[in-house]
Chain A
Amino acid sequence: MTKWAMIVDLDKCVACQGCSIACRHENNTPAISPEEAAMGRAIRWNDVFPNPVNGTEEAGAYPHVRTRYLPRPCMHCENPPCVKVCPVQGTFQDENGTVRQNYARCIGCRFCTVACPYGARYFNWHDPYWSPEMARCLNPDRVVGRDDLEGPAVRLRGVVEKCTFCIQRLYAAQDRAAAEGRDFRPDEYVPACVQTCTAKARYFGDLDDPDSTVAMLSQNPRAFRLLEDVGTRPKVIYLREG
């Protein structure tokens, strides 16, 4: 079975946020009003954070300051706490281990948002808004069949949304392979953030294939996972700086 995983090399990442905006335009997350953004309600499935996030003391005192930046997509945990707490099976792990969200079943209780130790889930407080001009650049792709739309289909207020590893791009790649009458290869598909990464800091592939780049890099001595001790077993694996 394929097990999609991502490696983020923090030595290469320059915190440019290309991933954040590639994700936005691939997945139709709305740019919200400045007032809402100031309340921390901006929806960026793949956000980038300074580390430490708050406070200036932890980074050290001038001139011995160490500033770090951390891009954070959904970790697509092998043991996802969000799936466990969902009362309506609105979020689930698919056959490839990707954690997905079924917008029709979601009742907006936000248990998952609280359960996720990475803050990777976003609640729609309002219906998203695009001006008529801006609405023309929305990604028209839709994943359908499992009760309701997934992928970049626009979400309305009251549902939780999250990174899907750009599931629509997987389906598109599989459809392309089928149309060409050949087998789908795992290297035909990467999420938008991986494709756009300016410093080529991201790798994507099948963790179950021992010869894949991600499987090999996951054994690198620099490899670590976020909050490893909470037992979520993320499939997004970081490589330390240096």
Chain B
Amino acid sequence: MINETISRRKFLRLSAGVAGSAAMISAPRLVYKMTAVPNPITLPARLETSGNSQIIPTVCALCPSGCGMLARIVDGNLVKVEGSPMHPVNLGALCHKGQAAPELLYNPDRLTGPMRRVGARGAGEWEAIGWDEAVRLVAEKLGNLRAAGRPERAALLYGETRGQMRGFLERFMTAVGSPNAISHDSLNIEAAKLANLFTQGVYDLPVYDLENSSYVLSFGASLLEAGRNPQRTIAGYGYLRRGRANRGKLVHIDPRQGITGAKADEWIPIAPGTDGALALAMANVIIKTGQFDSDFVHNYAFGFEDFKDDQGKTRKGFKNFVLENYDPRRVEQITGVPATTIGRLAGEFAGNPPAVAILPGKGGLLNGSLNGLAAATAVHCLNALVGSLEVPGGALTQRYPPCPPWPELPDDPVAENGRQAERLDGAGTHFPLARHAYQAAADRVLDGYPVEALFLYDANPVYETPGGEKFIRAFEKIPFIVSFAAFMDESAQYADLALPEPTFLERWQDDYMEGLGYPGAALRQPVVEPLYDTMPTGDFLLKVAQAMGDPVAAAFPWGSFKELLQDRLQNVGTDWETLAELGVWLTPGYRFARRGSARWINEVVGKDRRLAARDGRFDFFSRELFCHLSERSQEWETAVSGDALYLPHHEDVVYAGEEAAYPFLLNVVTLMSLGAHSYNANLPSMQEISGMTVRETWTSWLEMNPETAREMGLADGQTVVVESPFGKLQTTLKLVPALRLDVVNLPHNMGHTAVGRFARNRGVNGMSIMNPASEPFTGLAAMTNTRVKVYSVSRES
């Protein structure tokens, strides 16, 4: 047989015929022939790599975690990033988005230099200009506004920025003479910040000491996906899950299970927008059974018991208010959570100290259901009730590294006059409780607020706000728009000047640490030479200030943004060289303030109150809210009245869309892979993996419970129409059993019409069919009160 000439086909047939018999020897013969040459497996192997390799520390900017990063640079190229083990937020770890940072730096769709619009707005016709020309144009515009005595007609919308940049942007607008530096916080974290302000008196997000907690109650806070700083909460969660006798328990309360609910020990599917009622029913049980922290509520809090005010009028306290109104059996009707479960949760929460109730920073359904603030307040009061403030395993207060005060602004009557003007977004006036009402800027412009120059810094309102097309109409009334975006996003398309800033890997910037409590500063530095003719926005605005001359120039005595940082960070505890070498400097160890001590009063309770007493007492009855509202309470369009207004309470959500016609609540979910910035959608790896949970890729999808789908005759994978009173979209239906029957989910940051080749025309943008309203008084975007109906495409035609 060996000597025969046989075809390969015949050989295979022969082998198959005698498989298992002695004729198998043909196989070893084949192996023998191949090993006649040296077996490659036994050869030594070695690593070939470039000797020109270095590691540079920096800080990630792809989400608000601000993780320390080590960039590996080989021959001038960034080839890999790793987490910095020095940085306490991520401790050497890095999420998928951080790992994809090189895809941002080397993204083929980045803008390569400053441009001026030549065609019609939005037509996409541009001409390249020089940076000197750009500085001249912007300085001239602002100079003209100041010369005309209306500097308040300049406005800035800004997105995710922390560290000195945020203060710098606000200072720039203030120095020019405009009150209009408007943050996008009202789209996401503002409900939690305001709730903390009106109870604890701190205008900041509480910090949760997950590591040391025994019982974590997450009210729609998507801790493990897209919370305020997901890397920090994931690290805390990982430590909570360490093997120990009393394993920390995580309970997730959300109509959608999501990854947080899947990883939690218990998932409570709650009726959307009723979190506040659940928290108050738990408070009811805790008070009834006497399991609250009596020392705290009586000695370090205000308004727990009924009290008499200055006029001798008896006011309702938290205790009686909750006992009278929030019996678990009644709340069962509101929330859909059985009274027995409410009782058990309350017992577990009070009986497993330290326990902590967590507000959603981003994601979740508390924010802007037109009862967002009251609900968030109720949740935070649970922490106070069991004394979980400023204790290990409880809710802490973020401290920041010491910075010298900003230099006094020069004497400037034009600017002083401008600063007194009403804000563009109506914060403080139309929305008396708001600090920022980003999405409302468009409404106000359309209502006649004159804006003559608009700056967009990491802001893409056309895409990222509910009903964002209204910004396109608003832009028509603004003669001069400048975008600093690194990509031609939906809003930059309508700009007159596109002045791209470099990616975070090519610029100097600092970032303070958030989420650990103790202060720390981290430094972002260029890890490669800038790829294109871009300029960091900080440097650009400094040049503009210089070009405008005094008095604006006098407010900015720094030659570059790096110089500004060196000046501002001089007191963080180390010198600049060390900070640049390590990328991070911290003062580890949270210093707990003793109840009632000077540090307690100065740092933990009451420090940011503007009107109410800073007496170190946590407000169950919000005095700050009372001071803001008592004279305007008649205007408050609310179901409650009297003292309930100032106490945490539940109001039914006011939905857009009748339930009969629109049976589902639309929940636009922020995914960890795509969240935070529009340009994250243009990272190809993020597009590829964002649909992991439903095995989708490069597109968006609508999640629906299979029971509902079966009743409606809809099947997994079919194309459906999602229609709200504001518009409709077409996308793929995916059946997800871990979801309430009356809620459907759409992922956020899909369906771009611009930004770049990887983001464009991939899926749909849920924001485009959402209720464009704002919460009255608080100015929060109504992110979760839009109802929709879902039907198959064939029915439409």
Contact = CB atoms under 8 A, between A and B. Distances in A.
Q: Do A and B come from one complex?
A: yes
Interface of A: 9, 11-12, 14-18, 20-22, 24-26, 31-32, 34, 37-38, 42, 44, 48-50, 53-54, 56-57, 59-63, 65-69, 87-89, 92, 94, 102, 105, 131-147, 150-151, 168, 171-172, 175, 192, 195-201
B92 A195 contact: yes
A134 B108 contact: yes
B707 A18 contact: no
B91 interface: yes
B45 A145 contact: yes
Contacts of B735: 56
A69 B716 CA distance: 20
A137 B41 contact: no
Given A25-B80, A59-B737, 10 more contacts: A12-B238, A16-B96, A20-B689, A68-B262, A138-B79, A147-B40, A147-B43, A175-B47, A195-B92, A198-B90
B117 interface: no
B83 A142 contact: no
B99 interface: yes
Contacts of B685: 21, 24, 31
Contact of B687 (A34, A63, A65, A140): A34
Interface in B235-264: 235, 237-239, 241, 257, 259, 261-263
A102 to B, nearest CB: 6
Given A89-B39, A137-B79, A11 B262 contact: no
A141 B83 contact: no
A232 to B, nearest CB: 20
A148 B4 CA distance: 35
Given A137-B79, A142-B49, A145-B46, A50 B692 contact: yes
24 contacts: A12-B241, A17-B673, A18-B96, A21-B99, A21-B100, A22-B99, A25-B80, A38-B697, A53-B695, A62-B741, A67-B261, A102-B40, A133-B106, A133-B107, A137-B103, A139-B79, A143-B45, A171-B45, A172-B47, A172-B49, A196-B93, A196-B95, A197-B93, A198-B94
Contact of A25 (B99, B238, B737): B99
Contact of A11 (B41, B50, B94, B241): B241
A66 B698 CA distance: 26
Interface string B76-118: 0111111100000011111111111011011110000000000
Interface string B702-717: 0001110000000010
A88 B96 contact: no
A141 B48 contact: yes
B79 A140 contact: yes
A198 B238 contact: yes
Interface string B723-758: 000000000000111111100000000000000000
Nearest to A39: B697
Contacts of A26: 80
Contacts of B241: 9, 11-12, 199
Contact of A34 (B103, B697, B705): B697
Nearest to A196: B94
Given A21-B96, A25-B99, A62-B739, A136 B82 contact: no
Contact of A44 (B34, B41, B689): B689
Given A65-B738, A143-B46, A150-B45, A196 B99 contact: yes
Contacts of B238: 12, 14, 198-201
Contact of B80 (A14, A87, A139, A147): A139
B774 interface: no
Contact of A37 (B74, B224, B697): B697
B17 interface: no
Contacts of B269: 62-63
Nearest to B707: A62
Interface in B515-549: 531
A196 B101 CA distance: 13
Contact of B93 (A49, A145, A200): A200
Given A24-B685, A37-B697, A196-B94, A62 B738 contact: yes
Main secondary structure, interface of B, reads mixed
A141 to B, nearest CB: 5
A34 B698 contact: yes
Contacts of B34: 88-89
Interface in B261-308: 261-263, 267, 269
A61 B739 CA distance: 10
B47 A141 contact: yes
B94 A134 contact: no
B44 interface: yes
B108 A131 contact: yes
B5 interface: no
Contacts of B106: 133-137
A57 B95 CA distance: 31
Given A18-B95, A62-B739, A171-B46, A67 B235 contact: no
B235 A89 contact: no
Best-buried of B75, B100, B695, B741 by chain A (most CB within 10 Å):
B100
A168 B259 CA distance: 33
A18 B673 CA distance: 9
A62 B45 contact: no
Contact of B736 (A56, A61, A138): A56
Interface in B129-176: none
Contacts of B716: 56
B231 interface: yes
Contact of B95 (A87, A146, A195, A198): A198
A20 B689 CA distance: 9
B688 interface: yes
B41 A56 contact: no
Contacts of A14: 224, 234, 237-238, 259, 263
A69 B673 contact: no
Interface in B168-189: none
A195 B83 contact: yes
Contacts of A135: 106
B794 interface: no
Given A12-B241, A25-B102, A38-B698, A48 B692 contact: yes
A46 B707 CA distance: 33
**Top-9 shortest CB links A-B:** A199-B238, A137-B102, A171-B47, A34-B698, A145-B45, A147-B40, A31-B684, A67-B262, A21-B99
A201 B11 CA distance: 50
Nearest to A33: B698
Given A12-B241, A50-B695, A56-B716, A137 B105 contact: yes
Nearest to B27: A87
B459 interface: no
Contact of B231 (A11, A94, A102, A198): A198
Contacts of A132: 108
Best-buried of B44, B48, B50, B90 by chain A (most CB within 10 Å):
B48
Contacts of B673: 17
Nearest to A31: B684
B444 interface: no
Contacts of A15: 259, 262-263, 692-693
Interface string B40-84: 110111111110000000000000000000000011011111110
A22 B46 contact: no
Contacts of A59: 737-738
B455 to A, nearest CB: 28
Interface string B644-688: 000000000000000000000000000011000000000011011
Contacts of A131: 108
A141 B47 CA distance: 7
Contacts of B237: 12, 14, 199
Nearest to A48: B692
Contacts of B49: 140-142, 168, 172
Contacts of B628: none
B19 to A, nearest CB: 14
Contacts of A11: 241
A153 to B, nearest CB: 9
B591 to A, nearest CB: 26
